[in-house]
Structure formats: structure tokens, C-alpha cells
A and B are shown apart, each in its own frame.
Chain A
């Protein structure tokens, strides 16, 4: 196992997620794309920690922060989707062009 292998995996996950986030119309699917991108970030952060400076805990703390960020993204994402649907009956990104309530 080498660092480039892990980084290649991370880039693949990130790019697939980016494709999803850009091409999907449903808001929930866009969130799935974002999650997949963050998944790639987790792999990259963990691999950089292990292969570069494992004695310092910074890499591990970064992974922890990323997992927390993911949770925040999910919770607020769902809240906003619910609010959008309630206020303007929109569940697609193209229908939510203006965010005025």
C-alpha cells in the first residue's frame, strides 16, 4: 500500500460525487453527491496522516471534523429541503431558483 493508491481512490470517489452533485436535479440526490465527495476527503485525510506524519494526531482530528461536517450537512440539508418543499412545493434544484420565502 502506498500513498498514491489511497489518493487515487480518494480522487475517484470525489469525482464521482462531483458528477452526481452537478448533474442530479433532485435536491436529495445532490446531497448524496456531496456525501460521496466528502467520503473521498475522509480517505485522503486518513491516508495523508498515515503515510506522512502519524505521530501527530492532526490527520485523525481532521477526519473527525470531516465526519462532523458531514452530519451538519445532512441535518441542515434535510431541514432546508423540508422547508423548501413546504414553502414553495419544490423538490428539484431548478424549481428553487429564487430562495425568497
Chain B
């Protein structure tokens, strides 16, 4: 049962991943990627990682909904109504990625993976929570600082307006 679920979800994840770069419509590409993330979230559920699975779906669907906005904004042909190629160095990309896949796949199949060292905890979510608030707290603190820096940096880079140029201020153009 679990194996069937794994195979179906894996197929969905990879097929929609391929679809991202083959469909014409940018909206379809974006939401194909979202579907790939949802399938990976399902795979995490199979590994008893309910929290991380749901969090992946939550974050990634949100990101992809915003991605769709940028797609429509920046792509010449977001609806895919006039198909055209937007690729460069296609052969090189195929060679490199196939080579990388063969290398990684050989590694995952041929490496003699060690046996499982211990049994999973009863509540993985609680274990994760206690880790990030205890033994691994430094990681969490670093991540929060990075996220805050990201917010500030992204705003500074992206907006041309300042703090007081609000839409309801009298000087706004």
C-alpha cells in the first residue's frame, strides 16, 4: 500500500516537474511545479513527517501563487497562446543533467547504505520542535536572522519608493 502510494506520488512529482519545462502556458508551468511540491509533501507524509509535509505544501503553494504573478509580469507570452522557444544551450543542458542523474542514481543504488541506527520517535513533530528549541536552537536563530535580513534586502532591492511615499500621501505621483 505504502509502496503503491510512493510510486504514484513519485510519478506525479517527476511528471509535473518535467511538465514545468515543456508546457507553453506559464500559469500551467507554475502550477505544475506546485503540484510537484504537493506530491513531495505526500511523500514526506509516507515518512511520518506530517508537519514537514504540510509545511512544504503550505509554503510552496503560497510561493507558486506569487510566482504566477511574476510570471505574468515578466514573461512575454504568459498564456502560451503563441508558443515559442525560450531556451539556450539545450544540448549541453540535456547532457549535463542526464550525466548528473546517472551519477546520482548510481550513487543511490550502489552505495551500501548502513542499516538504520535506531527507531523513529513516536512523535516526530514533537522531536523536531524540541530540537529547534533545544539542542539545535542555534540553527533556528541563524535562520530567523537570515529571514529578517531577506525581508529587508528584498524590500530595499525591489521597491523604488521610500518609507513615506504611500498611496494615500499627498505627494504620491
Contacts and interface: CB of A to CB of B under 8 A. Distances in A.
Interface in A1-49: 1, 3-20, 22-29, 31-33, 35-36, 39, 42-43, 46-47, 49
A67 B55 contact: yes
Contacts of B167: none
Contacts of B59: 67, 70-71
B151 to A, nearest CB: 7
A83 B70 CA distance: 13
Interface in A47-99: 47, 49-58, 60-61, 63-65, 67-68, 70-72, 74-76, 78-83, 85-86, 91-94
Interface size class of A (residues with CB under 8 A): 35 or more
A15 to B, nearest CB: 4
Given A53-B116, A63-B52, A82 B100 contact: no
Contacts of A74: 63, 66-67
Nearest to A93: B88
A56 B127 CA distance: 9
Contacts, number: 240
Contacts of B96: 18-19, 22
B143 A65 contact: yes
B29 A15 contact: no
A37 B132 CA distance: 25
B124 to A, nearest CB: 7
A50 B74 contact: no
B90 to A, nearest CB: 5
B20 A60 contact: no
Given A46-B47, A60-B52, A13 B74 contact: no
B125 to A, nearest CB: 9
A4 to B, nearest CB: 5
A71 B47 contact: no
B70 A80 contact: no
B93 A76 contact: no
A94 B43 contact: no
A5 B105 CA distance: 10
Given A17-B17, A29-B86, A75 B150 contact: yes
Given A32-B21, A79-B157, A80-B157, 4 more contacts: A51-B116, A54-B116, A54-B118, A74-B63
Interface of A: 1, 3-20, 22-29, 31-33, 35-36, 39, 42-43, 46-47, 49-58, 60-61, 63-65, 67-68, 70-72, 74-76, 78-83, 85-86, 91-94
